[in-house]
Amino acid sequence: MNKQVIFMDGEGNVQGGIYVPDLHYIICGCCGGLVDEDDAVIIHCYNEWLDISESIYGDDGTILHEIEEKLNNMSTEDIQAILDGKKGLNV
């Protein structure tokens, strides 16, 4: 089953998207591009289908803002460790 997610791509950008586990990729909610699951870290997976514009990016959604704030306070080394799968991002 497809899930809405917040993910970090290989360049450290945090985006919302749709994870398609059967095909092993994420559809980026920003550009519509396909990101291979091996090239991304899923930070948060939503249990229910949400309105992306309001629940993820809007005033009612706080998870993306919490992730951005946490990443802004992290060192480059810590972010690289997350991308390498050596460290988790506890949100």
Domain boundaries, position 55: 3-83
Q: Is residue 91 part of a domain?
A: no
Which two structure tokens, joined as six digits, stand for 64? 């993306």
Q: Is residue 88 part of a domain?
A: no
Structural domains in the chain (count):
1
- Tell whether pTM > 0.75: no
Q: Is residue 61 part of a domain?
A: yes
- Assess contact for 5 and 45: CB atoms under 8 A: yes
Question: How far does Cα 12 stand from its chain's mean position?
Answer: 10
Phi, psi of 36, deg, nearest 5: -60, 140
pLDDT in tens, the chain (91 residues): 899 998 988 888 888 899 999 999 999 988 889 999 999 999 888 888 776 555 455 554 566 667 777 777 888 788 778 777 777 766 5
Strands (E), 1-91: 3-9, 14-20, 25-28, 34-36, 40-45
Q: Is residue 60 part of a domain?
A: yes
Q: Is residue 35 part of a domain?
A: yes
Q: Is residue 89 part of a domain?
A: no
